[in-house]
């Protein structure tokens, strides 16, 4: 079994994580999990949230002789936790500075473009700067986080007096089996360091 990479300690077993996201091109049970509508009369096992292939191959406790027991609720929370950690990882990854021509469509959808550009030079105290930041984040989520359906990024408060920070929310439908959920992630950008922190799920609503 594989062990979690030490450089990403927040990633948890039970959710979907990918070491090299490729724009959501993986099939059922891969990056997006098996996305099916809930059916009436499901057994407890059928209500468990289906993790991705990488999580099924990853053992958080390789020395334990058996897997820990879990419930459908626990498996759903583990899935959300993994998505939250991976969003943070995506936003804190700096994209290559090599400019790719628009004609190279396959390369534009590859891991070469994973992450965000350096945003420390963006004037977040201006409407234009905040709009640019929002568009960069939304574009990255649409391309590299296939578990989020129709993500919408909303810029919130901007603190420019003490430690410059920008607060924003990521709202989307979380694709997961046995049923999708509406989720809202609160996120903070520390402008001087260009560091993002996904503080947690502000709310979930079952169903789509």
Q: Give the range of the structural domain holding residue 129, as residue numbers without chain letter.
A: 53-206
Instruction: Evaluate whether residue 178 is within a structural domain.
Output: yes
Hey, what are 64's tokens? 């334990």
d(CA 131, CA 6): 35
Please check whether residue 7 lies inside any domain of the structure: no
Is residue 39 domain-resident?
no
What CATH number has the domain bearing residue 164?
3.10.450.40
Q: How far is CA 147 from CA 40, 52, 137, 140, in A?
A: 24, 11, 15, 13
Angle at 50 between CA 49 and CA 56, to 5 degrees: 130
121 in a structural domain? yes
pLDDT for res 59: 72
Distance CA 69, CA 90 (A): 30
**Could you give the angle at the alpha carbon of 28 between the alpha carbons of 141 and 6, nearest 5°?**
60
- Pair 17, 11: CB distance under 8 Å: yes
Per-residue confidence (pLDDT) for residue 35, from 0 to 100: 44
- pLDDT for residue 149: 94
* Residue 148 domain flag: yes
Closest to 191 (Cα-Cα) out of 175, 167, 155, 156: 167
Look at residue 180 and tell me if it is in a domain. Answer: yes
The beta strands (E) that lie in 69-144 are given as none
Count of domains forming the chain: 1
Domain membership flag for residue 120: yes
Burial grade of 58 (CB within 10 A; 0-12, 13-18, 19 or more): buried
Q: List per-block mean pLDDT (blocks of 10 residues) for the chain, which spans 208 residues.
A: 45 38 40 47 59 71 76 84 90 90 90 89 86 93 93 83 82 88 91 83 54
pLDDT of residue 143: 92
Q: For position 132, what pLDDT does the model report?
A: 93
Give residue 139's pLDDT: 93
DSSP 144-178: H-TTEEEEEEEEEEEE-SSS-EEEEEEEEEE--SS
Q: What is the CA radius of gyration of the chain?
A: 18
10 assigned to some structural domain: no
Provide the pLDDT for residue 5.
44
């Amino acid at each position: 079994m594989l062990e979690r990479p030490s450089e990403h300690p927040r990633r948890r077993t039970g959710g979907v994580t990918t070491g090299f996201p490729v724009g959501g091109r993986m099939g059922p049970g891969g990056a997006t999990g098996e996305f099916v509508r809930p059916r009436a009369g499901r057994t407890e096992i059928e209500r468990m949230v289906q993790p991705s292939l990488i999580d099924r191959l990853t053992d958080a406790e390789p020395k334990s002789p058996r897997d820990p027991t879990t419930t459908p609720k626990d498996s759903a929370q583990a899935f959300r936790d993994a998505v939250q950690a991976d969003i943070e990882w995506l936003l804190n990854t700096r994209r290559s500075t090599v400019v790719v021509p628009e004609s190279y469509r396959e390369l534009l959808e590859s891991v070469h473009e994973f992450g965000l550009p350096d945003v420390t030079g963006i004037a977040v105290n201006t409407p234009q700067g905040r709009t640019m930041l929002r568009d960069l984040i939304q574009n990255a989520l649409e391309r590299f986080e296939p578990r989020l359906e129709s993500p919408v990024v909303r810029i919130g408060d901007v603190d420019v007096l003490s430690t410059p920070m920008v607060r924003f929310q990521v709202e989307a439908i979380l694709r997961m089996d046995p049923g999708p959920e509406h989720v809202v992630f609160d996120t903070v950008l520390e402008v001087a360091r260009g560091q993002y922190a996904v503080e947690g799920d502000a709310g979930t609503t079952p169903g789509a």
